[in-house]
C-alpha cells in the first residue's frame, strides 16, 4: 500500500518541481490506487499506512541523509570533502570550496527529495481531511504528517530561502498556476512550518503514552523542532518556552555515554527526541519493509576508505575491500576545537595514524596511512559490520547499512534553551552545565559565544553546522579565516536549481547567483 500511495503522489506533483511537460512517466498511474485512497477514508489502518508513506521519505538521501550532510557539514568548518582528491563526493568537491553554481546536481537532488516528501505528506493530509475515521486517530495522524512536512520545509528554507509553497495537492489543471510556479517568501514558509508544528504540538501524544510509538513523531518532538525553528526566527521567548516544555515533560534526559548515542545500542534511548528508524527499529515507520528502511549510502559513504585485510571478529569474517568511501571527514579545525578531556572528541572523530594501526570500537583494525586514505573519519556515521545489524540484502551490500540518523536530541534542546535563556535574561548556565558535565567538563560561563561553541562540539557532524554559522552571523568570519571563499550576501543560501527554473519557464527567480 505504501508503494501505491508513493506512485500516486508522483502523479500529482507540480511539473516545475520534478518533470518537464514532455515526459509522461510520472503521469501513468495504476487505477488501483483509487481503491487504496477509498480505504484510507474509512479504515484507520489504511490511513496509518498512508502516513507511513510520508515517513518513508526520511530514507531519501536529500531529505535528512547523506546529501544533507554534504550540504550542511562539508560547507562548514567542521568537515572536509574527504576521500581521494579526484572523488567528486556527491558534489562535495564544489561545496567544500564554494565553487558550485545553479547547475550543480546536489541542489536539484535536495529540492526534489524534499518536495517528494512534502507532496507525500500533503497527499496524506488531503485524505485525512475527508476521512470518517475516529477523530482522535485522524488528528494524531494529521499531526504526524504536519510534523514531517514542517521538517522538510525547514530543510528547504535553510537551504534555499523562500521556496514554492505547496500545502495541498494541486490538480494537473492547477499545476501551471503562478501559485505553484513562483517562490513564496522565507517568512511565508516559516509561517507554514510554525503552523504545522503548533498543530502537531496540540494533537500528538506524549512519548510513551497512548497513541505514541517508537519512531513516530510525538508532542515532545514537535515542541523540540518548534523551539529550533523559533531560534532561527530570533523568537527567543518562543524558543525558551518550547524547549522548557520538553525539559519539564520529564520524558527525556541525556544518555550517560556520549559515544553510545550513535551506535545501534543507543537507538531510541532516553536522549532521542526524533530519529530516522532503520533496520530492526523500522516497523512503525516503514510498514515492516526492512529493506526499504535503510539510510541508503549514509554510513558506507562516510566510512573509512582504504585497503583492508580480511578480518575475523566475533566469529565473523569480513572481506570488505573498502570499508567505505571516506566522504565528509571531520576537519583539523574541528579536532582542534575540543578542550582537553572532552569525551565527545573520541565519540565524534576516528583518528588514523601514519605510524600505527587504529582499532575501532568493534575491534575492526584500520591500517596506518597511506593504506587508509584520510587522517580523520566521522565516528557518528560508522556502522559496525560485525556487531550491529547487517543489511537485509546481505553483508556485502555495504550501501544499505541500517543506520539510524539522529534528527533531534535532548542535548540540543538543552542548548536551545540555554541560548534562548541568555537572550531573554533567564538562567542559561544550568542547561549548559548539564551538557558539558556529560562531556566531562566544568562550566563557569554561559555567554552566547560559549553556547555557540558548545553547539558546534555537541552537534558536530550531525548536518547542522553550516546553517548554524549562517543563523548566528558567523559564516563569513569563520569560513574566510579558514580560506573558504564564502561571500556575504550570497552564500548564506544555495542557488535555486537551474533545472527547476527552466521547468517553470523562468517564473522561479534565482537567488543572488
The pLDDT of residue 24 is above 60: no
**pLDDT for the residue numbered 280:** 84
Residue 229 and residue 350 in one domain? no
What integer is the mean pLDDT of 484-488?
A: 98
Residue 167 and residue 306 in one domain? no
Tell me, yes or no, whether 71 lies in a domain.
yes
Which domain does 308 fall in, by range?
300-401
The model's pLDDT over 410-465, given as tens digits with 9 standing for 90+, comes to 999 999 999 999 999 999 999 999 999 999 999 999 999 999 999 999 999 999 99
Q: Tell which residue, 166, 117, 171, has the closest CA to residue 145.
A: 117
Tell me, yes or no, whether 508 lies in a domain.
no
The model's pLDDT over 161-215, given as tens digits with 9 standing for 90+, comes to 999 999 999 988 898 899 999 999 999 999 999 999 999 999 999 999 999 999 9
**pLDDT for the residue numbered 22:** 36
pLDDT-wise least confident of 50-59, 241-250, 393-402, 409-418 = 393-402
Ramachandran angles phi, psi of 351, nearest 5°? -100, 130
The pLDDT of residue 283 is above 60: yes
**pLDDT for the residue numbered 465:** 98
Domain edge (last residue) among 352, 370, 401: 401
Residue 219 and residue 347 in one domain? no
Tell me, yes or no, whether 103 lies in a domain.
yes
What is the rounded CA–CA span in Å between residue 270 and residue 214? 12
Residue 136 and residue 278 in one domain? yes
What is the rounded CA–CA span in Å between residue 433 and residue 431? 5
Tell me, yes or no, whether 456 lies in a domain.
yes
**pLDDT for the residue numbered 12:** 38
Q: Tell which residue, 59, 95, 202, 83, has the closest CA to residue 142.
A: 202
What is the rounded CA–CA span in Å between residue 468 and residue 449? 13
What is the rounded CA–CA span in Å between residue 16 and residue 175? 8
Residue 138 and residue 19 in one domain? yes
Tell me, yes or no, whether 228 lies in a domain.
yes
The model's pLDDT over 109-162, given as tens digits with 9 standing for 90+, comes to 999 999 999 999 999 999 999 999 999 999 999 999 999 999 999 999 999 999
Higher pLDDT, 31 or 477: 477
Residue 230 and residue 376 in one domain? no
Higher pLDDT, 389 or 411: 411
pLDDT-wise least confident of 94-103, 247-256, 297-306 = 297-306
Tell me, yes or no, whether 466 lies in a domain.
yes
Q: Average pLDDT over the chain, rounded to whole?
A: 90
Q: How many domains does the chain have?
A: 3
Residue 34 and residue 105 in one domain? yes
**pLDDT for the residue numbered 11:** 35
Q: Tell which residue, 450, 446, 410, 411, has the closest CA to residue 428.
A: 446
Residue 320 and residue 247 in one domain? no
Amino acid at each position: 500500500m505504501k508503494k501505491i500511495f508513493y506512485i500516486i503522489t508522483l502523479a500529482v506533483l507540480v511539473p516545475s518541481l520534478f518533470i518537464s511537460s514532455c515526459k509522461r512517466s510520472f503521469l501513468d498511474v495504476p487505477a488501483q490506487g483509487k481503491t487504496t485512497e477509498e480505504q484510507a477514508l474509512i479504515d484507520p489502518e489504511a490511513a496509518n499506512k498512508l502516513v507511513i508513506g510520508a515517513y518513508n521519505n526520511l530514507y531519501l538521501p536529500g531529505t535528512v541523509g547523506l546529501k544533507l550532510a554534504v550540504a550542511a557539514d562539508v560547507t562548514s568548518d567542521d568537515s572536509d570533502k574527504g576521500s581521494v582528491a579526484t572523488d567528486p563526493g556527491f558534489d562535495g568537491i564544489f561545496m567544500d570550496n564554494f565553487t558550485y553554481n545553479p547547475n550543480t546536481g546536489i541542489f536539484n537532488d535536495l529540492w526534489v527529495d524534499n518536495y517528494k516528501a512534502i507532496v507525500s505528506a500533503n497527499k496524506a493530509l488531503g485524505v485525512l481531511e475527508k476521512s470518517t475515521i475516529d477523530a482522535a486517530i485522524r488528528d494524531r495522524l494529521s499531526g504526524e504528517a504536519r510534523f514531517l512536512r514542517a521538517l522538510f520545509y525547514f530543510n528547504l528554507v535553510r537551504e534555499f530561502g523562500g521556496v514554492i509553497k505547496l500545502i495541498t495537492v494541486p490538480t494537473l489543471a492547477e499545476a501551471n498556476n503562478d501559485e505553484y510556479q513562483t517562490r513564496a517568501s522565507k517568512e511565508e514558509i516559516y509561517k507554514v512550518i510554525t503552523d504545522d508544528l503548533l498543530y502537531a504540538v496540540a494533537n500528538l501524544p506524549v512519548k510513551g503514552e497512548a497513541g505514541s510509538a517508537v519512531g513516530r513523531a510525538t508532542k515532545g518532538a514537535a515542541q523540540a523542532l518548534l523551539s529550533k525553528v523559533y531560534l532561527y526566527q530570533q523568537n527567543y521567548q518562543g524558543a525558551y518556552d518550547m524547549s522548557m516544555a520538553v525539559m519539564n515533560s520529564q520524558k527525556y534526559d541525556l544518555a550517560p555515554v556520549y559515544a553510545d548515542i550513535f551506535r545501534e545500542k543507543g537507538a531510541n534511548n532516553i536522549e532521542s527526541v526524533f530519529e530516522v528508524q532503520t533496520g530492526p527499529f523500522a516497523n512503525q515507520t516503514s510498514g515492516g519493509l526492512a529493506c526499504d528502511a535503510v539510510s541508503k549510502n549514509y554510513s558506507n559513504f562516510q566510512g573509512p576508505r582504504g585497503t583492508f585485510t580480511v578480518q575475523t571478529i566475533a566469529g565473523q569474517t569480513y572481506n570488505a575491500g573498502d570499508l567505505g568511501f571516506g566522504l565528509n571527514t571531520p576537519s583539523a579545525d574541528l579536532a582542534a576545537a575540543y578542550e582537553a578531556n572532552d569525551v565527545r572528541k573520541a565519540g565524534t572523530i576516528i583518528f588514523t595514524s601514519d605510524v600505527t594501526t587504529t582499532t575501532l570500537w568493534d575491534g575492526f583494525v584500520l591500517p596506518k596511512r597511506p593504506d587508509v586514505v584520510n587522517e580523520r573519519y566521522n565516528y557518528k556515521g560508522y556502522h559496525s559490520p560485525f556487531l550491529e545489524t547487517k543489511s537485509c540484502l546481505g553483508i556485502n551490500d555495504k550501501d544499505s547499512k541500517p543506520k539510524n540518523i539522529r534528527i533531534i536530541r535532548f542535548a540540543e534542546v538543552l542548548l536551545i534553551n540555554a541560548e534562548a535563556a541568555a537572550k531573554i535574561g533567564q538562567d542559561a548556565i544550568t542547561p549548559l552545565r548539564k551538557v558539558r558535565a556529560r562531556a566531562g567538563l566544568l562550566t563557569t560561563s554561559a555567554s552566547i559565544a560559549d553556547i555557540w561553541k558548545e553547539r558546534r562540539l555537541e552537534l558536530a557532524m550531525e548536518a547542522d553546522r553550516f546553517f548554524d554559522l549562517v543563523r548566528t552571523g558567523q559564516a563569513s568570519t569563520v569560513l574566510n579565516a579558514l580560506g573558504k571563499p564564502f561571500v556575504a550576501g550570497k552564500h548564506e543560501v544555495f542557488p535555486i536549481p537551474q533545472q527547476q527554473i527552466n521547468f517553470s519557464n523562468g517564473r522561479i527567480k534565482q537567488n543572488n547567483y
